[in-house]
Amino acid sequence: MTLQRILLCKQSFMKKKLFTLVFLLASFVSFALNINFYQKIQEENRVIEVVDGDTFQLKSGKRVRLMGVDAPEYDYCGGQEAKARLQELILNKKIKLEEEISEAFGRTLALVWVDKTLVNQIMLKEGWGRPDYRKNSRRDGLTSAYHEAQAGKVGLFSLCISTKPFKASCLIKGNIDQATYQKFYHLPACRHYQEVKLNLAFGEQWFCSEKEALAAGFKKASGCP
């Protein structure tokens, strides 16, 4: 082999070596940047505030509501307990959002995961809300969890189901249809009076007079005299 060919081979080898080093360095930098980007995204999905039993705030500024879950307002029966349970599940933790949908008031609806735990389902299974039946991939499981809590009388079904009035003179039942959200009141003489049970977690209440019920936006139920 001539000296010239040796030099050419050596140059070719050095070029290949340099190319390999550059490629490895670029790959390492790209990997490091991707890891940094992933960690940043993860940190943005950290929960910094729980507003109530179904709504919370992320570090990114995004406000999220649990898809398929309707928890009581904070000042309703069970509202404080529902908020406290959601705090235990997600506050200061990094969460994963699935099937995000933009909602009114700038909120995002989503299925919410902490590791392998579906938070939406836990809240319903423990009785801290009711399903809103919004279409999502987990709707059947969420509905089943709700019925399980209902049958087991846990959470709101233990704290907030009322069958007796607070005053003996306040016998009118103010009931809200879960499907239509229409408000009806039932007098003791109404056909289905005995079957109606009030869930104080969602605005149902006892009234002392028809005038009081009407003023609260309830109308007389069918089957009433």
CATH of the domain at 86: 2.40.50.90
Task: Indicate if 195 and 96 belong to the same structural domain.
Answer: no
Q: Is the residue at 6 inside a domain?
A: no
Task: Express each pLDDT in 52-78 by its tens digit.
Answer: 999 999 999 999 999 999 999 999 999
Task: Indicate if 150 and 165 belong to the same structural domain.
Answer: no
Residue 3 has pLDDT above 60, yes or no: no
Q: Is the residue at 28 inside a domain?
A: no
- Listed residues 137, 158, 179: the one ending a domain: 158
Q: Is the residue at 125 inside a domain?
A: yes
The whole-number average pLDDT for the span 85-89 is: 98
- Listed residues 106, 133, 158: the one ending a domain: 158
Task: Indicate if 57 and 82 belong to the same structural domain.
Answer: yes
Q: Is the residue at 108 inside a domain?
A: yes
Measure the CA angle with vertex 29, ends 23 and 34; round to 5°: 125
Task: Indicate if 152 and 165 belong to the same structural domain.
Answer: no
Domain count, the chain: 2
Please provide residue 48's backbone torsions phi and psi, each rounded to the nearest 5 degrees: -110, -15
Residue 26 has pLDDT above 60, yes or no: no
CB-CB contact of 49 with 56 (8 Å): yes
**How many other CB atoms sit within 10 Å of the CB of residue 115?**
8
- Listed residues 117, 143, 158: the one ending a domain: 158
Task: Indicate if 111 and 76 belong to the same structural domain.
Answer: yes
Task: Indicate if 143 and 204 belong to the same structural domain.
Answer: no
Residue 133 has pLDDT above 60, yes or no: yes
Q: Is the residue at 210 inside a domain?
A: yes
Q: What pLDDT, on the 0 to 100 scale, is given for residue 32?
A: 45
Task: Indicate if 54 and 145 belong to the same structural domain.
Answer: yes
CB-CB contact of 163 with 171 (8 Å): no
Q: What pLDDT, on the 0 to 100 scale, is given for residue 191?
A: 92
CB-CB contact of 199 with 160 (8 Å): yes
Task: Express each pLDDT in 169-196 by its tens digit.
Answer: 999 999 999 888 899 999 999 999 999 9
Task: Indicate if 144 and 123 belong to the same structural domain.
Answer: yes
Q: Is the residue at 20 inside a domain?
A: no
Q: What pLDDT, on the 0 to 100 scale, is given for residue 33?
A: 46
Domain residue limits at 53? 47-158
Task: Indicate if 136 and 59 belong to the same structural domain.
Answer: yes
Q: Is the residue at 29 inside a domain?
A: no
Task: Indicate if 86 and 133 belong to the same structural domain.
Answer: yes
Task: Express each pLDDT in 89-112 by its tens digit.
Answer: 999 999 999 999 998 778 899 999
Task: Indicate if 92 and 63 belong to the same structural domain.
Answer: yes
CA atoms within 13 A on the CB side of 223: 12
Q: Is the residue at 195 inside a domain?
A: yes
Mean confidence (pLDDT) of the chain: 88
The whole-number average pLDDT for the span 33-53 is: 76
